[in-house]
Amino acid sequence: MAVSIEQIKQYLADNPAAMPGQVAAELAITELDVVKALPSEQLALLPLTEKDNLLASLPEWGNMTTIVSASGSIFEFKGSFPKGKYAHGYYNLITKGEGLHGHLKLDELSAIALISKPFRGTESHAINFFGAQGEVVFKVYLGRDKKRVLLSEQVERFQALKDSVNIAA
């Protein structure tokens, strides 16, 4: 049975602390379906045509947390998002020495969501990259200082990006 957007919104309203991945599993839908049902103040969808500009700017944002989930396991990298370049059908993350590196298949992305949703009662902002089946490919969460406070410069950049999307919409 298909789940309507109204049912997703009601579930989110009844369970405000639930994370999109949990909601998707509970309702047997994609995480992108859940994200698209978030309240407008929590979500902005970045046009895919802006992915190159976004990825080029992320290394300037400073330390963040990049998360990749696979089969229930969660991999986290804390540090600056690396610069990259296109080659052989991938966006190749370039790291000098240690750090996050890999190869992104960006032409298979279906959406980029800018999400502002509290996590365990704490302000949280993330950039989620979704694949063709509505699954999360990876997420980039804004960084925090040693006292677990979000980095204000990153919050300003994130909000400006969200605002630019909302103005264009």
- Based on the fold, state whether residues 161 and 81 are members of the same structural domain: yes
Residues 41, 42, 47, 51, Cα dihedral to 10°: 140
User: In the predicted model, is pLDDT for residue 168 greater than 90?
Assistant: no
- Based on the fold, state whether residues 2 and 27 are members of the same structural domain: yes
What per-residue confidence (pLDDT) applies to 35? 96
- Based on the fold, state whether residues 145 and 63 are members of the same structural domain: yes
pLDDT tens-place string over residues 139-167: 999 999 999 999 999 999 999 999 988 66
Give whole-number Cα distances, 153 to 142, 143, 166, in Å.
10, 10, 20
- Based on the fold, state whether residues 84 and 15 are members of the same structural domain: no
- Based on the fold, state whether residues 23 and 53 are members of the same structural domain: no
Residues 6 or more apart from 123 whose CB is under 8 A from it?
116, 150
Give whole-number Cα distances, 90 to 59, 65, 96, 108, 117, in Å.
18, 22, 18, 10, 30
- Based on the fold, state whether residues 96 and 34 are members of the same structural domain: no
CATH number, position 151? 3.40.1570.10
Q: How far apart are CA 16 and CA 34, in angstroms?
A: 12
- Say how many domains are in the chain: 2
Q: How far apart are CA 38 and CA 51, in angstroms?
A: 21
User: In the predicted model, is pLDDT for residue 25 greater than 90?
Assistant: yes
What is the span of the domain harbouring residue 25? 1-38
User: What's the mean pLDDT in 9-18?
Assistant: 92
- Based on the fold, state whether residues 14 and 88 are members of the same structural domain: no
User: In the predicted model, is pLDDT for residue 2 greater than 90?
Assistant: no
Query: Please, is 18 exposed, middle or buried when counting C-beta atoms within 10 Å of its C-beta (0-12, 13-18, 19+)?
Result: middle
pLDDT tens-place string over residues 81-101: 999 999 998 888 987 777 788
What per-residue confidence (pLDDT) applies to 144? 94
pLDDT tens-place string over residues 32-73: 999 999 999 999 999 999 999 999 999 999 999 999 988 888
- Based on the fold, state whether residues 7 and 55 are members of the same structural domain: no
Q: Among positive and negative, which fits the CA dihedral 23, 29, 35, 37?
A: negative
